[in-house]
Structure 1
Amino acid sequence: MKKKMMVGGLLPALVLSTCGLAGAQPVAMDTLTAMEQNPDAGSQMRASTEPVTQESLQEMRRQLEEQLQQAQELQNRLNAQLGSLEKRMKKVEKKSWEPPVEIHGYGRLRWDKHRYEDRNDPNDYKTIWLNLFTKYRINDRWALHSEHEFENNLTTNHGAYEGQGGYNEPGGKKYSRPVLQLYAEGRVGEVNVKAGRYYLQSPYKFTFDDKIDGWQISYGIPTKWGRKANFTLSAGNTYSKIFYGDKENESNYWNEGGDGNLKVVSLIGEIPVAKNTNLAMHYGKIKRRNDRLERKTWSIGFDTKINRDLKFWAGIAKSDSQTLNKSHFLQLQYKEARPDIPGSYDIYIKKYLQRGHSGMTNWFNDDIAEFTHGDYKEENIANNGNDKVFQYSRWGEFNGLRIGVDFVPTRNTKLLINYTFGKMGKCLDKDPGRRYDYSFFRTQWEMYF
């Protein structure tokens, strides 16, 4: 009788144990299958008990399958609950650490001094700037960005974009764009997309450095160096003075206001070619819509880390202008000033030949020329003093050096000091004529928030 009770309790125990352990399901099924296929197995045990019929085995199999199905359904419900909980936790984390609206920016206090060989009075400018950036997350793939700039020239008390002559005076820019950027950015598949008013900057800010109203698409290709090769295509409209003083410009040769109806097309390639070296290329075209006057620009350059603390840049550019149309630069920098690392600093030296029509918008890189339009006017007395003859020319070339130091005294601040000196030519012909001594000194304090 005891043996019958042991056998009678063995099979239910086997069923319960296999239901509790998901990994034991195949073993339980195999055991029942083996017992069905080999009823003579365990003959000694069955010899001392009542025989197990085929019907009883099928009933136990059915019960076991029901229990296994219930266990599987319970496991599926638990998995669904865990997945839902994980999604809710991610939403909570996103709300806690990634708010839908972000606002940051920086302020600048700047003092610039220009000295020209042929002028007795040096130009001295003191300005204050405030740039605010906003980001609104539409969803996980798209966001809306904006940049707002507020500036005041403390020397002349003129506001943003007014120029040295004021808004309604000669030399004023006659327009205002306090909203420098306003664009949507997101991803369509593996392609990054921008649309609106955004900042288009060529590699090293060498040939194009301005805002345009249009669209941009960029695509990255992974490389073995761990960095992507990025290709960026941009198109839109911009406000530019690229044709101001251009001898190929027949419609408004000396129009200070420039022309806002300019179409821009730009293609940029940035390709890692070694572990610490990147190659950068740019093709740009700007065309005035009303008379189809256009300018094309090409540039190529590279940057490389010579060692842990030493970095080198170089680049050349050329345009299809009939005047001065070739530029180049070389820069060597030691260390790097990072606003998030107090005490960090860098020291650099830059040699460059910058010419007017090598750039699509900026005549000179890094604010070398004057703030308004960089032209030059001479007044000569003719006919025994009875007539005044104005001779216009534009600074067409600068060839010189810049030495600079950047330092981070406290977190989220930076002090920039640089001194530029060299020769500046005034003509727009192939020969700039006489070159004048020129120097430019800048001190700037930046605060980030």
Structure 2
Amino acid sequence: MKKNFLAYGLVPALALGTYGTVGAQPLAAANVMSEQGGTGQVAAAAEPVTQESLQTLHKELEQQLYQAQELQKRLNAQLGSLEKRMTKVEKKTNEPRVDIHGYGRFRWDKQHFTDFKGTNRKSVWLNLFVNHRINERWSFHSEHEFENSLSTNHGAYEPDGGFEKPGGKKYSRPVLQLYADGRVGDVNVKLGRYYLQSPYKFTFDEKIDGWQASYGIPTRWGRKANFTLNSGNTYSKVFYGDTENKLDIWAEGGSGNVRVLSLIGEIPVAKNTNINTHYGRITRRNDNLRRKTFSLGFDTKLNRDLKFWAALAKSDSNSLNKSHVLQLQYKEARADIPGSFDIYVKKYLQRGHTGMTNWFNDDIVDPTHGDYIEELKQQNPDAPDNKPWQYRAGEFNGIRIGADFVPVRNTKLLVNYTFGKQGLFDAGQGKLTGKRNHYSFFRTQWEVYF
């Protein structure tokens, strides 16, 4: 009895004590406790549990765990590689290496001058954009613009008889933009021929052949403060009627031999408010005649649907050197949201020498400038020498009222009416004559995006 008592008491105690000290599995202890036939005898065939056997079992389990971890790593690597390949396929689908899109415009313009017959032009425009993604950081872009007059069936840039002949133009824009853009470190870079627009298109709105560098600084408002430097060659009429223009003060045509330097700052100063600045310097290479222009403005959201902006501009010219603009807009017409619309009113005083390129922005027409001059001559044969020189204008002071509407997705209908006074200008004296004639401009335009 004492031997049986020892067998049934000491062996289980040893097994349980060993399990607790070296971490043996409960299954090993159970094997030691296995019985045969209910006789209480320990199975003779059971292997004895020792410190060495438990350590061996522990090492085998560690090896199996290591192999499982290695297998998991290989599976994770394969899944990561598959995910990268799927991302590349999705990017090629959603961001193709070559992308072509654009928009068409069907336009009707009508202009009226005091005692002077204005133009009435119907035209169709097509702008095509081609984007080529070179790699993850660089892309190549081009824009091609074509126009055809539905009134005369002549293209905008068709010579139709030669230089300065009816229907002909002095310049061509089949390749409006052609440039590469990318990143160098944290700086966005643009190289080639591209459109440069100052804030609100107030003092500069023209293409240049040159380069651009832009850098953004994060702000507490969640929008970056952007500073953009531009330099290159451009086309400008700004020296027309400038008293310091000694080459030909009467020449209403512009020059393409002009160098431009432009610095633009767009700075968020509140949640819904931005301050915009533009410093520009333009130099004619022929005689090194130089003009500097500065503008300062801001835009803000008064509430969810109402936006207001205002700007002032001044140049270092001796005349026509101050301008301002105010605009209030309700809602916003977005081509991707059918039924969206906006209504706006703009008040501005714009003078010729506060710009750096064209004589007037916003499609305001001086009868002696722009694409309409030949048509104006044809429509006013009784003007002295068949030339409307008495209608030279150096400023416009007026109001524009407009509305935009998106009837269906990727289309937009624009209607605006501009009216006010054009201050007549004596180019030889470089100043206004004091006479102001009425001027109005009406535009209806249908845009289709594709």
Instruction: Confirm or deny a common fold (TM above 0.5).
Output: yes
Q: Pick one of 148, 163, 166 that aligns with 1:168.
A: 163
CA distance in 1, matches of 2:276, 2:356: 17
| Deviation digits for residues 18-74 of structure 1 (CA, Å, limit 9, x no counterpart) | xxxxxxxxxxxxx99x639x9xxx99x999995634x55654454344333322321
Q: Pick one of 275, 289, 294 that aligns with 2:290.
A: 294
Q: Pick one of 406, 419, 422 that aligns with 1:421.
A: 419
CA distance in 1, matches of 2:8, 2:358: 102
Change (3 A) 1:6 1:113: farther
Quick check: 154-163 or 285-294, which moved more? 154-163
Q: Is 2:253–2:369's contact at 8 Å kept on the other side of the alignment?
A: no
CA distance in 2, matches of 1:308, 1:222: 24
Give 1:402 shift: 0.8
Quick check: 236-245 or 254-263, which moved more? 254-263
Q: Is 1:245–1:393's contact at 8 Å kept on the other side of the alignment?
A: no
Give 1:372 shift: 7.2
Q: In the alignment, is residue 69 of structure 1 matched against residue 70 of structure 2? A: no
Quick check: 392-401 or 333-342, which moved more? 392-401
Q: In the alignment, is residue 147 of structure 1 matched against residue 148 of structure 2? A: no
Q: In the alignment, is residue 404 of structure 1 matched against residue 402 of structure 2? A: yes
Higher-Rg structure is: 2
SS at match of 1:357: helix
Give 1:176 shift: 1.6
Q: Is 2:308–2:329's contact at 8 Å kept on the other side of the alignment?
A: yes
5+ long unaligned stretches in structure 2: 1-6, 34-41
Q: Pick one of 107, 111, 127 that aligns with 2:108.
A: 111
Change (3 A) 1:265 1:307: same
2:4 is matched with which residue? none
SS at match of 1:83: helix
Question: What is the TM-score normalised by the length of structure 1?
Answer: 0.82
Change (3 A) 1:421 1:65: same
Q: Pick one of 19, 22, 25 that aligns with 1:35.
A: 22
Counterpart amino acid of 1:363?
Answer: W
Give 1:148 shift: 0.4
Change (3 A) 1:370 1:111: farther
Q: Percent identity?
A: 68
Quick check: 69-78 or 250-259, which moved more? 250-259
Q: In the alignment, is residue 261 of structure 1 matched against residue 257 of structure 2? A: yes
Question: What is the TM-score normalised by the length of structure 2?
Answer: 0.82
Counterpart amino acid of 2:207?
Answer: K
SS at match of 2:434: coil
Q: In the alignment, is residue 448 of structure 1 matched against residue 449 of structure 2? A: yes
| Deviation digits for residues 251-274 of structure 1 (CA, Å, limit 9, x no counterpart) | 243445522121111111111111
Quick check: 95-104 or 357-366, which moved more? 95-104
CA distance in 1, matches of 2:196, 2:8: 90
Q: Is 1:111–1:125's contact at 8 Å kept on the other side of the alignment?
A: yes
Q: Is 2:320–2:431's contact at 8 Å kept on the other side of the alignment?
A: yes
2:79 is matched with which residue? 82
Q: Pick one of 304, 312, 316 that aligns with 1:316.
A: 312
Give 1:198 shift: 0.9
Give 1:394 shift: 3.8
Counterpart amino acid of 1:447?
Answer: V
Q: Pick one of 168, 178, 181 that aligns with 2:174.
A: 178
Give 1:96 shift: 2.4
Give 1:238 shift: 1.1
| Deviation digits for residues 284-304 of structure 1 (CA, Å, limit 9, x no counterpart) | 111112211111110011111
CA distance in 2, matches of 1:89, 1:400: 57
- 1:93-132 pair list within 5 angstroms: 93-119=90-116, 121-132=117-128
